Amino acid sequence: ITYEGDDKHAKTVMAAMGLQSDSKGLDQAVSKEDTVEDESDELGPGPAKRYRSIAAVVNYMSLDRPDLQLAPSVLGRSMSRPTVAAEARLKKVARYLVSHPRVVYSYPAGKMDRDAEIIAWSDSDWAGCRASRRSTSGGLLLVDGGVITSWSNRQ
């Protein structure tokens, strides 16, 4: 069985941020520096509406993409008052999508005739958000090497 999320949403985010498939990409959507306190200028009404719209698309994509699960949390912190720095973080996510426009899960057939190997990973960065001092935790559950579920949340 092969499963992949719809890559048209990645193209939507890239186009909205003025990027193309041959633009410079990134290997990381969110970094520790993206959690610092934001004191930059607020965006005007038009750019703020565009920010919210694109951030919502990234949030929707995160349902099918474990690699994007932290990004909507970081982007969502600025939904009420988007700033210039928040827009730069959104562009960083778009550059990540240039490098990784699609993710495919593959579940090989014929492995269920033996005992299944279940692996669970979890991690937390206690008080890792520099602005709010909240923790972010997440995890991943694999059965025979295939991702069954993943999660990321702030506490």
Q: What is the pLDDT of residues 67-120, one digit of tens each?
A: 888 888 888 888 999 999 999 999 999 999 999 998 887 776 665 556 777 888
Range name among 22-36, 51-65, 122-136 with the lowest pLDDT average: 122-136
Residue 18 sits at φ, ψ, to 5 deg, of 75, 25
Instruction: Note whether 142 and 119 are within 8 A (CB).
Output: yes
Secondary structure class of 116 (helix, strand, coil): coil
Average of per-residue pLDDT across 123-152: 72
DSSP run (H or E) holding 97: helix 84-99
pLDDT band at 13 (very low <50, low <70, confident <90, very high): very high
pLDDT band at 24 (very low <50, low <70, confident <90, very high): very high
| Half-sphere exposure in the Cβ direction for 32 (13 Å, CA) | 6
Q: Is 121's pLDDT higher than 90?
A: no
Query: How do 118-125 and 104-106 pair as beta strands?
Result: unpaired
Residue 42 sits at φ, ψ, to 5 deg, of -75, 150
Q: Is 146's pLDDT higher than 80?
A: no
Secondary structure class of 155 (helix, strand, coil): coil
In the chain, % of residues over pLDDT 90:
36
Q: How far apart are CA 85 and CA 10, in angstroms?
A: 21
Nearest to 147 by CA among 85, 63, 73: 63
